[in-house]
Structure 1
Amino acid sequence: MVFDVITCATEYVRKIVEGCSGLKALLTDDETLSMIGLVYSQLEAYNKGVFLIEKLETPRRELIKHMKCLVFVRPNSTNISLLQRELSAPKFGEYHIFFSNIIRKTLLEELAESDTFETVTEVQEYFLDFYAVAPQLFHLNVLPCMLSNSGENPILERLVDGVTSLFLAIKMRPAIRYDANSKLCRFMCERMSVRMDQENALFDFRRRDTNPVVLILDRMQDPLTPLVTPWTYEAMIHELIGIKNNRVNLRHSPDAKKGFQEVVLDPKQDRFYNVNRYKNYGDLGVNIKSLVDQFQEKARYSHSTATIEDMMKFLEAYPELRSSSSEVTKHVTLMSELSRLVTSRHLMDVAQLEQDIACRNSLTEHQNQLFKMLENPNIHVEDKFRLSLIYALRYEEVPQNRMGEIKDSLKKLGLSAERLQLFGSLLRYGGNARRTSDIFQSKSILGMVRNTVRRGIVGVENVFAQHVPLIVHLIDDIMKGRLKETEFPFMTPASGKNVPKEILIFIAGGVTYQESRAVAIINGESQTDSEPEISAVANFAQSNGFRVILGGSTIHNSKSFLTEVSRVAYPWR
């Protein structure tokens, strides 16, 4: 049984596209089109006979009876209505209908009644109701994703649909654990448990040696990770530019040439990205220079390529080489934009203080450094604000934290009253009173030992990689059977006493690429050097045959995370 979201998603798309012969059209909805696009290219579909890809909602006038129609949509009432319209006046010779999740019997009956011309040859449920980003990472593209206090909410149902579809895709009926401090997580788990009971036959899989476990975690348990500047390739791109469905918009980059104002980061098609997506900023620069040097040698270009600017000049000087090396141009352009933003925003200075606040308790020293940052005209006000939020999380309960002075300084810098309210919103959402987890590793003896060891091992060259996401510690605790049931109780009981070898963590409220990278390293999918603490967990996981999948409502950067937090006026309780 495969515990890999990319493999599962690709297999479903392959079955849809290759299930019948001849000329084919593919009709999708907005969501399923993106789900397919993440794992299967348009060229691959074309090579399998798919010559037309359209939205189901697109009106069609011409008859195309010589083509077979593949329909892949989510099983909701809107899509059923569109299918009914399509089948009432069919334009294609036959229809093969695939739903991305379990379809209600009533909707299926409505659809059957509409097939008056008997053009539907098959109806299948293929459980691809999630966005597969990496072997260890999926998300559900749900925004907003931090919900009100109601248990009845369409967004909540979408989360349940997405996570249970993944259970079916990887063929497991897991034990379910949840964040006891979060009503959102409890609501999700109650519905998932009911769903599995209602569809008992679907979830009747061959028993594994150890029962898999899913942990539903609330983002409020770790509000720190989305705020800390990441320094690895994929995460930096998302933080500083943005990634949506593997696409990066570079239209605002001064170095982006025509044809490279939007680029695709597909690890299947882009070898450099696949190898370097989890590399740190320093290694990345070396690897990009090596990539350019290989082309420079082929072109016998004699000038220096020591800097990003030199590389850009080299590519401009050889347009014929540039046209045949779009991968090189793409990554030089991306690196150029990252370098420009890091330099112009003085992010290295900001990040050093971020990491130190995240990993060390030193109120007076951090206050002094923070006020110097606030007075520095070269630091962008939003970076000053984000740094102040990290400080507020660390020292919220210390009477001498001088938060009033910090807010006054930000107000004088032009930060709006609405933005300043985020201090209160963040602490109500994920402050010390809301969290049960120890994100600063300072409450327990074990946490203090971890913190001391980390500070003792991490060298100057890793000053930007000291913070370790909370999920690394939770994964370690699950693997070693010490995750507290008082904080993370079972919704469905585990069968047997065995520690689960397959672990799925879903973060309600959104996940980050930094957390995904940590899981990739734990699974052994990335050979990049990592923080000693992550490496230790990875060694234990790989030595004992553990595997982890990570999912979330969406994939956050600091901007999207704070936009969500700004919506949260009151805690869940």
Structure 2
Amino acid sequence: MAGMPKLEHAALDLRALRSLVRTELLDALDSIPSPEGGARGGAALVLDPSLSGPLSLVAEVREIKERGVDKIYHLAPAPLETECKSIVYFVRPELRQVEHVVAHLKQLGGLKQRDAAGKGRAVPRHSFTLFFVPRRSLVCEKVLEDEGVYPLLEIREFAIGFLALEDDVLSLEQPCFADCFLRQDHSVLHTAAAAIAKLEMLFGTIPSIKAKGSCAQQVVHLLQQVRAAAVEQPAPPQAQIGQLLIIDRDVDLCTPLCTELTYEGLIHQLFGIAHGYVDLQPELLGSSSSSPIKREMNNNDPLFARLRNLNFGDIGPLLNRLARGMRDGYEERHHAHTVGQIKDFMKKLPKLQQEHKSLSLHVALAEQITKVTRAEGFHRRLECEREALASGGYSAACEALVEDLAEEKEPLPSLLRLVCLFSVVGNGLRDKTLKALQSELLAAYGYASLAITFANLNKVGLLKRNESRGSWMAIKKALNLVVDDVPDQDLGEEPPDLSYVYAGYAPLSVRALHLMAQHAPTSRDDIFRQLPGPFHSYNGGDAAAATHSSPSDAEASTASPATPPITMVFFVGGCTFAEIAALRWLRRNDSPRREYLVATTHICDGNGLMESLIHQCESQLKRLDKEAA
């Protein structure tokens, strides 16, 4: 389907998962009641803006409209102007969105009489159906009751579960770092357990699960409950996923704070990739449009599939080589003299033109990225990041860079990301250094932006006072996180180590996951225990007993000699595109071979992680100002 990833080369039949979610969505629309019990049709579908992208990954607008939907709107504070009698909401269970729904119901939810004489039963002017995605919320429903609109609504939930972003990437598309690790709101963990259970319904009960981190453990316990509640369901098929590795984002806070250096990671950091699309300014594409232009960023574009996981340093030379090859392809027309030769060239022309369009897009993107990566400030930042990763310290050069960035009013999320990296690898900053840094940032950015943010960063372990010797240097050495001498390779050759994704830094999370996949050798157990959060291994299809021992050979039984076993990894709190690229490197180079299926609550980067914590500060201050007034 247009715009959706084709999922042609997935180790699992992810098209079956997408088909299941599509069926559930269309069935939900079919079940919508009509006003006054009449014929269904002419419905208005009002979507939480954050759900438009995820839903587009499972169903086309045409399919939705075939279910009686006339108009589709984005939920907004403005009044809803519609002639549709049936109004259907799909919203996240967030108070802000519920407030918009309440406003609509008060606007549209009045009663009208059956006849002009005023006789007969009073009936609602509209029928209202509210789907909470992915789960109902008692807090939100209490707001609806308090506002007096609850009786007007039929309330349901739609558990969308995992969405396939690629052949090897699943996402809940539910940003939740601040919820899980700052606010201790673990509702997403219930969503995750239900999503894994839905996978097991299609692909069999996963025989081996390992969890690193407290949230990861909760996901497993909730999954156990879902399994226990489904004992009377039909037996699932034979297991196709050999093992599931679950890891909390706060096990490795370092990786998302570093600058991603893969092509896809840099596109995300500079332009933002959402649900497989990027919004680009029209002038970048030579367009006269007045609004941003959407372009696919998934494996439907063969060129992007080839470029996405490469270190950005390889992109320019490769694009030059491809441009020369394309020029040679067009030159063939000058050598087509016979009817047969002309016919052969014309057969190639549509593909050549599509490749030309894709090449032009990526050349334009690469040019914009190069303007950033060639800047002196970019290289100063990379040097400081590498120094911090290698030494675990906060040097004079790093301190000078922070001062310069603050003076230049670097975007606050970007600057905080750098400062937090120094704190994470050093197990905090010295008291004198931390106080001076906080004073400097408060002077540069203002109290309103940072008053509560510092407390938030401290609470999640990102920016704190050093009170004891850290374990970074021992972990770095044991897991070979910093590779000083990465051998050069010819253009197009496989990098010798997965650390290429950060030009010499191997993501701690991926090294840890690789260790978990290899059954955690006892020689590294001490180092593994130094990482934040508990670790447990759950063996057997019912995951009934938690042990600290090596897992059974259940995983091996899920694969034939010709088919490598499938390991699913699940990040609670988000993962980066660079981590996905590193896991793809493992899939190609691990011995024995292993397929990796990456699942996550959402795709994240360091700036987005910082923004989620800063936003919490600003929201609270605005609320306090409002209450004081």
Query: Shorter-chain TM-score category?
Result: 0.5 to 0.7
Match of 1:119 in 2: none
Match of 1:38 in 2: 57
The alignment status of 1:503 with 2:551, answered yes or no, reads no
Q: Structure 1: how far apart are the matches of 2:218 and 2:575?
A: 19
Match of 2:399 in 1: 371
Q: Structure 2: how far apart are the matches of 1:567 and 1:426?
A: 12
State which of 480, 484, 492 in structure 2 corresponds to 1:451: 480
Check conservation: 2:202, 2:236, Cα contact below 8 A. no
Deviates more, 1:549-558 or 1:382-391: 382-391
State which of 588, 609, 618 in structure 2 corresponds to 1:561: 609
Cα 1:127–1:32 change in 2 (3 A) is: same
Match of 1:405 in 2: 436
Deviates more, 1:131-140 or 1:259-268: 259-268
Q: Which amino acid aligns with 1:428?
A: K
- Compute the TM-score of the two structures, normalised by the length of structure 1: 0.66
Structure 1 residues 313-370: Cα deviation after superposition (integer angstroms, max 9, x where no partner): xxxxxxxx99994323322222232223334573232123213312x1163xx42211
Match of 2:288 in 1: 258
Q: Structure 2: how far apart are the matches of 1:144 and 1:162?
A: 15
Match of 1:332 in 2: 363
Structure 1 residues 59-105: Cα deviation after superposition (integer angstroms, max 9, x where no partner): 7879xxxxxxxx9x9999x9xxxxxxxxxxxxxxxxxxxx99999xx
State the 1:195 CA deviation.
0.8
Q: Structure 1: how far apart are the matches of 2:408 and 2:73?
A: 48
Check conservation: 2:162, 2:171, Cα contact below 8 A. yes
Q: Residue 455 of structure 1 aligns to a residue in which SS?
A: coil
Structure 1 residues 178-212: Cα deviation after superposition (integer angstroms, max 9, x where no partner): 335x2x43443322211111113547334449x83
Q: Residue 330 of structure 1 aligns to a residue in which SS?
A: helix
Structure 2, unmatched stretches of 5+, are 1-8, 28-41, 75-79, 99-131, 137-157, 332-351, 490-494, 556-564, 618-629
Q: Structure 2: how far apart are the matches of 1:451 and 1:324?
A: 40
State which of 158, 161, 165 in structure 1 corresponds to 2:191: 158
Cα 1:389–1:32 change in 2 (3 A) is: closer
Match of 2:505 in 1: 467
The alignment status of 1:292 with 2:323, answered yes or no, reads yes
Check conservation: 1:241, 1:250, Cα contact below 8 A. yes
Structure 1, unmatched stretches of 5+, are 20-24, 63-70, 79-98, 104-125, 301-320, 525-537
State which of 277, 292, 296 in structure 2 corresponds to 1:247: 277
Question: Between Structure 1 and Structure 2, how many residues are aligned?
Answer: 472
Q: Residue 357 of structure 1 aligns to a residue in which SS?
A: helix
The alignment status of 1:281 with 2:312, answered yes or no, reads yes
Q: Structure 2: how far apart are the matches of 1:202 and 1:53?
A: 37
Match of 2:12 in 1: 4
Cα 1:432–1:456 change in 2 (3 A) is: farther
Q: Which amino acid aligns with 1:489?
A: H
Cα 1:499–1:270 change in 2 (3 A) is: same
Cα 1:52–1:285 change in 2 (3 A) is: farther
State the 1:249 CA deviation.
1.6
Check conservation: 1:214, 1:505, Cα contact below 8 A. yes
RMSD: 5.1
Q: Which amino acid aligns with 2:504?
A: Q
Q: Structure 2: how far apart are the matches of 1:102 and 1:372?
A: 48
Check conservation: 1:392, 1:423, Cα contact below 8 A. no
Q: What percent of counterpart residues are identical? A: 15
- Compute the TM-score of the two structures, normalised by the length of structure 2: 0.60
The alignment status of 1:489 with 2:536, answered yes or no, reads yes
Q: How does 1:20-169 map to 2 (within 5 A)?
A: 34-35=53-54, 37-38=56-57, 129-147=161-179, 154-169=187-202
Q: How does 1:192-271 map to 2 (within 5 A)?
A: 192-202=223-233, 204-208=235-239, 212-251=242-281, 257-258=287-288, 261-271=292-302
Q: Structure 2: how far apart are the matches of 1:519 and 1:463?
A: 10
Check conservation: 2:260, 2:578, Cα contact below 8 A. yes
Q: Residue 162 of structure 1 aligns to a residue in which SS?
A: helix
Q: Structure 2: how far apart are the matches of 1:552 and 1:270?
A: 23
Q: Structure 1: how far apart are the matches of 2:481 and 2:277?
A: 40
State the 1:253 CA deviation.
6.6
Q: Structure 2: how far apart are the matches of 1:204 and 1:102?
A: 26
Cα 1:432–1:173 change in 2 (3 A) is: farther
Structure 1 residues 475-523: Cα deviation after superposition (integer angstroms, max 9, x where no partner): 2222321176973124624797216343322222212111111122222
